[in-house]
Amino acid sequence: MEKLIRGILHFRKHELPTRRAMFSRLAEGQAPDTFFLMCADSRVVPNLLSSSEPGDLFTVRTVGNLIAPASDDGTAIGDVSEAAAVEYALVALGVKHLVICGHSRCGAMDAVLSNTAPSGAPNLVEWLKLGTPSLDRVERAAFVDRSLSLADRLSQVNVLQQLDHLRSYRLVGQREDAGEIRLHGWWFDVATGETHIYDEERGGFVLLDDEEGERLLGGRIARPHLTLVPPPG
């Protein structure tokens, strides 16, 4: 906490004087073009990794970048808060891109994998069940990078699985089908500080470098979908 308080004092003294115009402009309203769902992990900082500013990202952070899928009536199974944020981003703000970003060394994925959560955390146990479908699919995912640990593989499959949860909301599915919005699967490697994007044609998550950036900006990357290989036998 001491670091935070000293940080605010530093910000007031050294950063704020150069950003006053930006904040007074932001006071008029927000117009982000991207909804960004990421894990709550403290090591992963969306604005830092994307060199973005206040007003650029409509951000939701959850444990394991999980989001509950829709039930038959269109509301979320379980907690509706993440889906409410998605609806606000689409209906009120008109965002054009929805990113789900997972990351390496994710504690939530470790817990899903080992089927253990800290004792005395019944809500956490319940929440992590949203990662179970990813666990069921990790061995059958067509793109999996075998050089990664099982938890990191699960984390990558989980990004695609949670994109499917996102699509289960009619608003998202319909707008994606109509080409009005684009969904993106990203994965951040904590050890290298590099961001990877899911590109099925290229065989999975690829480093977002200059070349991939051009492909992405040119719209030459297909919709991110989790493709499964047939079960053995």
Smallest gap from Cβ 194 to Zn ion, in A, equals 16
Give the Cβ contact number of residue 87 at 10 Å. 15
Ramachandran class of 41: left when φ > 0, alpha when ψ lies in -120 to 50, beta otherwise? beta
Decide: 62 and 82 in contact? Cβ < 8 Å.
yes
How many whole angstroms separate alpha carbon 186 and alpha carbon 168?
A: 19
- From residue 167 to residue 206, what is the string marking binding to Zn ion with x (rule CB under 5 A)? ----------------------------------------
Decide: 82 and 76 in contact? Cβ < 8 Å.
yes
- Select 39 or 157, whichever has its Cβ closest to Zn ion: 39
- Select 39 or 128, whichever has its Cβ closest to Zn ion: 39
- Select 110 or 200, whichever has its Cβ closest to Zn ion: 110
The binder of Zn ion chosen from 95, 101, 106, 166 (CB under 5 A):
106
Question: Token pair 């909301």 is at which residue?
Answer: 169
Query: Which part of the chain contacts Zn ion (CB under 5 A), choosing from 18-26, 45-53, 100-108, 125-133?
Result: 100-108
- Select 40 or 84, whichever has its Cβ closest to Zn ion: 40
* Radius of gyration over every alpha carbon of the chain, rounded to an integer in angstroms: 18
Site for Zn ion in 30-69 (CB under 5 A): 39, 41
The count of chain residues that interact with Zn ion, using the rule CB under 5 A, is 4
Smallest gap from Cβ 188 to Zn ion, in A, equals 10
- Say how far residue 44 (Cα) sits from the centre of its chain: 11
Give the Cβ contact number of residue 167 at 10 Å. 20
Residues forming the site for Zn ion (CB under 5 A)? 39, 41, 106, 108
